[in-house]
Chain A
Amino acid sequence: MSALDLINPTSGLYRKREPVFPRVVKGRFRQLKWAVMIFCLAVYYITPWLRWDRGAYAPDQAVLVDLANRRFFMFDIEIWPQEFYYVAGLLIMAGIGLFLVTSAVGRAWCGFACPQTVWTDLFQHVERWIDGDRNAQLKLNNAPWTAAKLSRRLTKWSIWLAIAVATGGAWIFYFADAPTLANQFISGEAPFVAYATVAVLSFTTFTLGGFMREQVCIYMCPWPRIQTAMLDEKSLIVTYRDWRGEPRTQGVKKAAAAGEKVGDCIDCNACVSVCPTGVDIRQGPQLGCINCALCIDACDEVMGKLNRPRGLIDYLNLHDEKHERAGGAARPILKTLLRPRTLIYFGIWCAIGIAMLFTLGERARLTIDSAQDRNPVVVTMSDGQVRNGWTIKMRNMEGRPRSVELTMAGLLQGRMWTDAMDRKDAARSVRLNLAADATTRLHLYVAAPAGPAGETPFALIARPQDATPGTNDGREAARDIKFIRQ
């Protein structure tokens, strides 16, 4: 094999991309696609600009992933790194949500909500706006490179690039205060990583949305493969009712006059020409079909003009397809959606959500952790008492400074003091001021009279001194520890 064979399109080893020029289509699924696209893009672009008042000690951005300070803010919820399991829970919910959607309505994610689909759709609308519909695009594509073609291409690419930069630009605002970062970005004072992120995301949006398109779905994305495993014979997929459509007939009257059997499909290729991935749905379910349902709209339009019932191409599951093929009546779609599998997924999804909301409401906003000094564990003091030491970390996860009293429960002869105090002032409890939304770290000493070697368990209890009555912010934080004598 020579090196040329590798890139020779006729060798069969590699295949050149066939450009796809989908025709514009009107219909209910197109409407739905518009709605989903506008919703998704609006959420994506607007969210970082929403404000949320959290007081003087926390940022006022509604949704903020503050990597530098290790905080995640989402409206009224603030998550610390050790509470990352909430994010894990959200990811699990997203996973089960995809199982649910896929088992019920197949690749609806691919067809409507996937960013690759949404931005490709947006880019294709720009393309139609500049170059015209399918036929004009085809013509322009095959035309030689004239100044007119070049100017059209440059216009289209410029708009794509503007969208791409806006897309990459919106992303970084989730990770810093949006208005501040926007100013810095424009004046050239933003951190390098901001520019690099925008550059990378602009490049990927421009390339994937403008040029790669269905190649991403067919060759790069693992999700279609995973979904293949999750679909079953009751999942709704876009299906061609071939028993109704075949044999395809173009000259219907002539064929009917000749006594030939006539199918509903008039082979007008509307379904193929509107397909954003360029497949022919009439060949049956296939990897290239992202279930965007635009062919349903196209076919329904044609059937309407011919006064034939809609739904030659339709959402249909394989189970009902067999049933209809055998002459059975069409079954209601709700029966497909509500079946044990989808209900179980929905139940699990809801259970996780409710459990997370419950724990979110119950989680502690004041915690205490300790690490006992290990080298040395026990220090004999000159008065004969023995001393143990701990590094204490108190997390005040509320957006305000707090005053707490740290008290010993047990070890009745013990007295404690911190590294900010003198042992002369050692007592059974110490007052501490905790900074807002921060971890306060201190060293704690406890001394008690010497005695037989062994461990004496006791507890450290942090009692908030500034609790608002009727709320749970007066909740204590406790830590069981051991006083050790040798």
Chain B
Amino acid sequence: MTDHQKRIDEATGTNLVGHEWDGIEELDTPLPRWWVYIFAATVVFAAGYVVAYPSFPDTAGLTGWSSRGQLDQTLKAETTARAPRLDAIASTRIEALAANPQLMRSAIEGGRAAFKVNCVQCHGAGAAGSKGYPNLNDDDWLWGGDIAAIEYTLQHGIRSPGSGETRFSQMPAFADILSRTQISQLVTHVQAISGQAKPSAAGALLFAENCASCHGDAGKGLREQGAPNLTDGIWLYGGDRAALTQTISKARSGVMPHWEGRLPRVTIKMLAAYVHSLGGGEGNPAPAAPVTADAATGEANVGS
């Protein structure tokens, strides 16, 4: 105890602390004794806690608990929990996935996650692509847009070195074959069939001789060859004169890697389901039915 003389508050009979602010004084009201017992108990608890849990750098607690270990456990539990669903997706033919809307929905969501890791580098986070990298949201497909064709493309890639079954075609570089004037006439024809210019007879003749074998007489493309449809509004490398001139002169041969052997089969299947679900997927299967979700799950901002 301190030495200064204790003063007692008359009204309450309680000691005064001795601090005074503008005439207001603080009472030294005794704390209840159970409070000090609880305080002592928390100190004892803290001592035990420090020993039981990792409290110092590079020191494990007696329980062996660590936040990293907890994460491992959570991941393991999550993996175990979703294993049956992945097995179900793996054992279902991809064309038959849509018959089971819940399974299809799982596949699409699994594909969405895998896409963010493996595909966004070229195709972009929203799969909108960029020059030379196709937009996967539209309904224009070089090699086929039904779900099985998409899966094949994912498995074997396009012009992918090291894959025996990769999709392959090679457009010739016409700078070595045709004159500048002829190439210019061809460009005019391609612009004509895509509705950008007036038709030219010379160009049409050149097209029939040099291009129709792959792109078709009408320029509608040929999926067996990965030859693009030249009459629609979608251009992978640009549809203006300069871009078309370059494409015809130097040719294009974009590469997509094959993913078989790099990703599990089921992941490839889920990626195919996801890409197919982006709004341009063709034919069988019909896309997944709308989900009915609980009000609160994902109630806030929703991704697409």
Show the binding face of A for B, using Cβ within 8 Å. Answer: 1, 5-7, 9, 11-17, 69-71, 80-82, 212, 215, 219, 371, 373-376, 379-384, 387, 389-391, 393, 395, 418-420, 422-423, 432, 434-435, 438-443, 445, 450
Do the beta carbons of A382 and B233 come within 8 Å of each other? Answer: yes
- Measured between beta carbons, the chain A residues less than 8 angstroms from B280 are 379, 381
Do the beta carbons of A395 and B295 come within 8 Å of each other? Answer: yes
Interface string of B259-302 (1 = CB under 8 A from A): 00000000000000000010110000011111111111011011
Q: Is B21 an interface residue (CB 8 A)?
A: no
Q: Is the interface of A mostly helix, strand, loop or mixed?
A: mixed
Q: Is B234 an interface residue (CB 8 A)?
A: yes
Query: Knowing A6-B36, A14-B35 touch, does A383 contact B299 (C-beta < 8 A)?
Result: no
Distance in angstroms between the alpha carbons of A82 and B290 in the assembled complex:
22
Q: In the complex, what residue of chain B is closest to A395 when comparing beta carbons? A: B295
Interface string of B7-23 (1 = CB under 8 A from A): 00000000100000000
- Measured between beta carbons, the chain B residues less than 8 angstroms from A439 are 292-295, 299
Not counting A373-B304, A441-B298, a sample of 5 additional A-B residue pairs whose C-beta atoms are within 8 angstroms of each other reads A5-B1, A70-B295, A81-B296, A374-B304, A439-B295
- Measured between beta carbons, the chain B residues less than 8 angstroms from A438 are 292-295
Q: Is the interface of B mostly helix, strand, loop or mixed?
A: loop
The 8 Å CB contact of B299, one of A14, A81, A373, A390, is: A81
Do the beta carbons of B34 and A17 come within 8 Å of each other? Answer: yes
Query: Knowing A391-B303, A419-B277, A441-B302 touch, does A432 contact B32 (C-beta < 8 A)?
Result: no
Q: Is B126 an interface residue (CB 8 A)?
A: yes
The minimal Cβ–Cβ distance linking A124 to chain B, given in whole angstroms, is 19
Do the beta carbons of B292 and A440 come within 8 Å of each other? Answer: yes
Which B residues from 34 to 67 make CB contacts under 8 A with A? 34-37
- Measured between beta carbons, the chain A residues less than 8 angstroms from B304 are 371, 373-375, 389-391, 443
Do the beta carbons of A381 and B233 come within 8 Å of each other? Answer: yes
Of the listed stretches B83-91, B132-140, B197-205, name the one at the interface; the rest are far from the partner chain. B132-140
- Measured between beta carbons, the chain A residues less than 8 angstroms from B293 are 438-441
Do the beta carbons of A442 and B233 come within 8 Å of each other? Answer: no
Distance in angstroms between the alpha carbons of A80 and B296 in the assembled complex:
9
The minimal Cβ–Cβ distance linking B131 to chain A, given in whole angstroms, is 14
Query: Knowing A376-B128, A379-B138, A389-B279 touch, does A435 contact B292 (C-beta < 8 A)?
Result: yes
Distance in angstroms between the alpha carbons of A82 and B301 in the assembled complex:
14
Do the beta carbons of B232 and A384 come within 8 Å of each other? Answer: yes
- Measured between beta carbons, the chain A residues less than 8 angstroms from B162 are none
The minimal Cβ–Cβ distance linking A307 to chain B, given in whole angstroms, is 35
Do the beta carbons of B30 and A13 come within 8 Å of each other? Answer: yes
- Measured between beta carbons, the chain A residues less than 8 angstroms from B289 are 420
User: Would you list 24 pairs from A and B whose C-beta atoms are within 8 A, ordered by A residue?
Assistant: A1-B1, A5-B1, A11-B1, A14-B30, A14-B33, A16-B32, A70-B294, A212-B34, A375-B126, A376-B135, A379-B280, A380-B234, A382-B138, A383-B233, A387-B138, A391-B302, A391-B303, A418-B290, A419-B279, A422-B286, A434-B292, A439-B292, A441-B292, A443-B279
Q: Is B31 an interface residue (CB 8 A)?
A: yes
Do the beta carbons of A420 and B287 come within 8 Å of each other? Answer: yes
Q: Is B125 an interface residue (CB 8 A)?
A: yes
Q: Is B191 an interface residue (CB 8 A)?
A: no
The 8 Å CB contact of B135, one of A16, A379, A434, is: A379
Q: In the complex, what residue of chain B is closest to A397 when comparing beta carbons? A: B295
Q: Is B245 an interface residue (CB 8 A)?
A: no
Q: Is B229 an interface residue (CB 8 A)?
A: yes
- Measured between beta carbons, the chain A residues less than 8 angstroms from B290 are 418-420, 432, 440-442
Do the beta carbons of A12 and B15 come within 8 Å of each other? Answer: yes
Q: Is B124 an interface residue (CB 8 A)?
A: yes
Q: In the complex, what residue of chain B is closest to A212 when comparing beta carbons? A: B34
The minimal Cβ–Cβ distance linking A145 to chain B, given in whole angstroms, is 21
Q: In the complex, what residue of chain B is closest to A6 when comparing beta carbons? A: B36
- Measured between beta carbons, the chain A residues less than 8 angstroms from B140 are 381-382
Distance in angstroms between the alpha carbons of A442 and B195 in the assembled complex:
35
Distance in angstroms between the alpha carbons of A107 and B278 in the assembled complex:
64
Distance in angstroms between the alpha carbons of A224 and B32 in the assembled complex:
17
- Measured between beta carbons, the chain B residues less than 8 angstroms from A15 are 30-33
Do the beta carbons of B287 and A374 come within 8 Å of each other? Answer: no
Do the beta carbons of A379 and B128 come within 8 Å of each other? Answer: yes
A-B CB proximity, top 8 nearest: A375-B126, A376-B128, A442-B290, A384-B233, A382-B232, A15-B30, A70-B296, A373-B304
- Measured between beta carbons, the chain A residues less than 8 angstroms from B291 are 440-442
Do the beta carbons of B126 and A387 come within 8 Å of each other? Answer: no
- Measured between beta carbons, the chain B residues less than 8 angstroms from A420 are 286-290
Distance in angstroms between the alpha carbons of A333 and B296 in the assembled complex:
51
Do the beta carbons of B32 and A380 come within 8 Å of each other? Answer: no
Distance in angstroms between the alpha carbons of A450 and B234 in the assembled complex:
13
- Measured between beta carbons, the chain B residues less than 8 angstroms from A80 are 295
Distance in angstroms between the alpha carbons of A337 and B288 in the assembled complex:
65
The minimal Cβ–Cβ distance linking B15 to chain A, given in whole angstroms, is 6
The 8 Å CB contact of B288, one of A376, A381, A419, is: A419
The minimal Cβ–Cβ distance linking B294 to chain A, given in whole angstroms, is 6
Do the beta carbons of B32 and A215 come within 8 Å of each other? Answer: yes
- Measured between beta carbons, the chain B residues less than 8 angstroms from A390 are 304
Distance in angstroms between the alpha carbons of A443 and B274 in the assembled complex:
13
The minimal Cβ–Cβ distance linking A195 to chain B, given in whole angstroms, is 22
The minimal Cβ–Cβ distance linking A482 to chain B, given in whole angstroms, is 16
- Measured between beta carbons, the chain B residues less than 8 angstroms from A373 are 126, 304
Do the beta carbons of B124 and A7 come within 8 Å of each other? Answer: no
- Measured between beta carbons, the chain B residues less than 8 angstroms from A212 are 34
Distance in angstroms between the alpha carbons of A70 and B277 in the assembled complex:
30
Distance in angstroms between the alpha carbons of A393 and B288 in the assembled complex:
16
Do the beta carbons of A381 and B138 come within 8 Å of each other? Answer: yes
Distance in angstroms between the alpha carbons of A212 and B37 in the assembled complex:
14
- Measured between beta carbons, the chain A residues less than 8 angstroms from B28 are 12
Do the beta carbons of B302 and A376 come within 8 Å of each other? Answer: no
Distance in angstroms between the alpha carbons of A215 and B38 in the assembled complex:
14
The minimal Cβ–Cβ distance linking B259 to chain A, given in whole angstroms, is 23
Do the beta carbons of B32 and A219 come within 8 Å of each other? Answer: yes
The minimal Cβ–Cβ distance linking B81 to chain A, given in whole angstroms, is 18
Distance in angstroms between the alpha carbons of A443 and B279 in the assembled complex:
9
Do the beta carbons of A16 and B33 come within 8 Å of each other? Answer: yes
The minimal Cβ–Cβ distance linking B23 to chain A, given in whole angstroms, is 20
Distance in angstroms between the alpha carbons of A212 and B124 in the assembled complex:
64
Do the beta carbons of A445 and B128 come within 8 Å of each other? Answer: no
Distance in angstroms between the alpha carbons of A371 and B303 in the assembled complex:
8
Distance in angstroms between the alpha carbons of A281 and B52 in the assembled complex:
51
- Measured between beta carbons, the chain A residues less than 8 angstroms from B292 are 434-435, 438-441
Which B residues from 181 to 217 make CB contacts under 8 A with A? 195
Distance in angstroms between the alpha carbons of A178 and B234 in the assembled complex:
61
Do the beta carbons of A374 and B36 come within 8 Å of each other? Answer: no
Q: In the complex, what residue of chain A is closest to B195 when comparing beta carbons? A: A384
- Measured between beta carbons, the chain A residues less than 8 angstroms from B124 are 375
Do the beta carbons of B232 and A383 come within 8 Å of each other? Answer: yes
Q: In the complex, what residue of chain A is closest to B296 when comparing beta carbons? A: A70
Distance in angstroms between the alpha carbons of A381 and B291 in the assembled complex:
26
Q: In the complex, what residue of chain A is closest to B125 when comparing beta carbons? A: A375
Query: Knowing A382-B139, A439-B295 touch, does A17 contact B32 (C-beta < 8 A)?
Result: yes
Do the beta carbons of A7 and B295 come within 8 Å of each other? Answer: no
Distance in angstroms between the alpha carbons of A281 and B129 in the assembled complex:
82
